Amino acid sequence: MTSRNHQLFELSQKYIPGGVNSPVRAFKSVGGEPIFFQRGQGAYVWDVDGKAYIDYVGSWGPLILGHAQTEVINAVQTAAQNGLTFGAPTEAELKIAELICQLIPSIEQVRLVSSGTEAGMSAIRLARGYTGRSHIIKFEGCYHGHDDALLVKAGSGALTFGHPSSAGVPAETVGHTIVLDYNDRAGLEKTFVEHGDKIAAVIVEPIAGNMNLIMPESGFLATLRELCTQHGSVLIFDEVMTGFRVGLSCAQGLYQIKPDLTTLGKVIGGGMPMAAFGGRRDIMQCLAPLGPVYQAGTLSGNPVAVAAGLATLKQVQAVGFYERLASKTQQLTEGIVAIAKKQGVAFCAQSVGGMFGLYFREKIPASFSEVMECDKDAFNRFFHAMLNEGVYFAPSAFEAGFVSSAHGDMEIDKTLVAAEKVFDTW
Ligand code: PMP
């Protein structure tokens, strides 16, 4: 009998390119068919054929409280009953803006948008408008959304599917984008010596989560901060993934580095389409209607999305929230590593807050080129074997994974039992 999943995928491919509305959802790199989900609750998702999975994707990061979390759903329902959108200011927008500014000291003013892509694109335009310069620096393997100027040697799906630099982007558009190696301080210094007065901004994932998980080496972010200050360039931290995921003060708090602008997304929308960019007041005030840099959005600050975001941010502020999340995540990675070691599999893992990286190689990678050395075939085998056991990891060797506060000891234990079974017959 053909599964419902297969039927839906067949039909979807007729009407939707590749059958998916975002390429990372396709199982193209791991093989097989993407899973169509019907519902989620806590740490679990159920597919259309009724099979349950422990979910370590969490919609690619937003669901830090797990699926259909009661307070978030209640807030969304209440907001929806009062009207879906006004295209005019609401008090809830003020509340979330104030909260973001309080929780992230580098942000003095913030503007809400609807996706991480919009946040990154707007931050770049703002930095260019503020400095009157054109060049930007980004790092290979970092993903900042699908804006033209940033789709150069990008991570995430762009990397997974072998098109890190997208077709359809004119050479002139990316002519101002300089791509450097993540963690390469010497390369940075050299570039600033040569082009410092032309560089409007450096955009970086302060912890890179779109080429699997790569931590910044000691001094990398500090060097970035120093060089940007010295040359009058705007330092943009893309915390769309790391924001309220690695800790309450985000990656910038962990490393004690203050960027000029920050982009946020995922967790701040609590599973609804919301993102933001914010930072220094003098820079933010260049935005329309105050200044000449134009940026807008019909659904920006959408009341339902803001309600989900507020309900989420309220809960992550609970005492010990991030300590518990980090220890749960570590329990998972350390558990899988121990099992793999026992079976002699070349495997390692690491985590920060509620975010983790799994690598099929002996040593934790510190650069893009080291990530590329991971055994992709081994990952694909692992992915499918775990899926079969009811554990859903991201369908790519180049994505970070996520644990939510709904993942308890039981879910971690079940995952480890599944890993034991998988590595036993490796
Ligand atoms: N920046 C980073 C660091 C991301 O991880 C993502 C999405 N994975 C984006 C930007 C783009 O966000 P969105 O998909 O909401 O456009």
Average confidence (pLDDT) over 324-349: 97
Tell me which residue has tokens 């220094």. 280
Per residue in 98-112, pLDDT tens? 999 999 999 999 999
Does the pLDDT at position 160 exceed 80?
Answer: no
143, 182, 255, 322: the active-site residue: 143
Which DSSP string do the residues of 178-226 spell out, in sequence order?
EEE-TT-HHHHHHHHHHHGGGEEEEEE-SSB-SSS-BPPPTTHHHHHHH
pLDDT at 349: 98
User: What contacts 148, CB < 8 A, 6 or more positions away?
Assistant: 166, 169, 170, 173, 174
Per residue in 71-88, pLDDT tens? 999 999 999 999 999 999
Range(s) of the chain covered by CATH 3.40.640.10 = 70-316
Residues touching ligand 1 (Cβ under 6 Å) are: 60, 115-117, 120, 143-145, 156, 205, 209-210, 238, 240-241, 265, 275
Per residue in 248-278, pLDDT tens? 999 999 999 999 999 999 999 999 999 999 9
pLDDT band at 396, cuts 50/70/90? very high
Range(s) of the chain covered by CATH 3.90.1150.10 = 4-68+319-424
266 catalytically annotated: yes
pLDDT at 397: 92
CATH class of 4-68+319-424: alpha beta
Give me the architecture of the 70-316 domain, per CATH. Answer: 3-Layer(aba) Sandwich (3.40)
Which residue minimizes the CA distance to atom 13 of ligand 1?
Answer: 116
28, 153, 266, 328: the active-site residue: 266
